[in-house]
Amino acid sequence: MDALHYASMKFRKRISGARVPGDSITGPVSVVRRLDTPGTARTRKSGSYDAMGNRLLKVAVVVLCTVNALMWEYYTESRMMAILWAAVAVGFIVWIIDDTRR
């Protein structure tokens, strides 16, 4: 069997699902693994790790916003920007509290 004939048979197999001589797969669909369904313990644990990571990220944002508010107040003496950054920090604290309640 020449290469062109084999390639055309492979192409027909993809379209029709027919078996090509020399292939080990007997049907158009072999094993399909769904990635959106949790199947192992590792996938179930990753949800709690993601939640912990999100919470730590929010805490880091609170710390950085607080530092930013202090720097605006100390270096530029701009109370408006310090209040804005403090409000963002308080908003994230409220979000963290609301997230832990759920």
> Which pLDDT tens digit goes with each residue over 32-43?
555 555 555 555
Residues 6+ apart with CB under 8 A from 17: 27, 28
**Contact call for residues 27 and 17 (beta carbons, < 8 A):** yes
**Over residues 46-56, mean pLDDT:** 79
Report the alpha-carbon distance of residue 65 to residue 88 in Å, rounded. Answer: 7
**Over residues 22-50, mean pLDDT:** 57
**Contact call for residues 1 and 10 (beta carbons, < 8 A):** no
pTM: 0.52
Q: Quick: pLDDT tens for 53-83.
A: 888 999 999 999 999 999 999 999 899 999 9
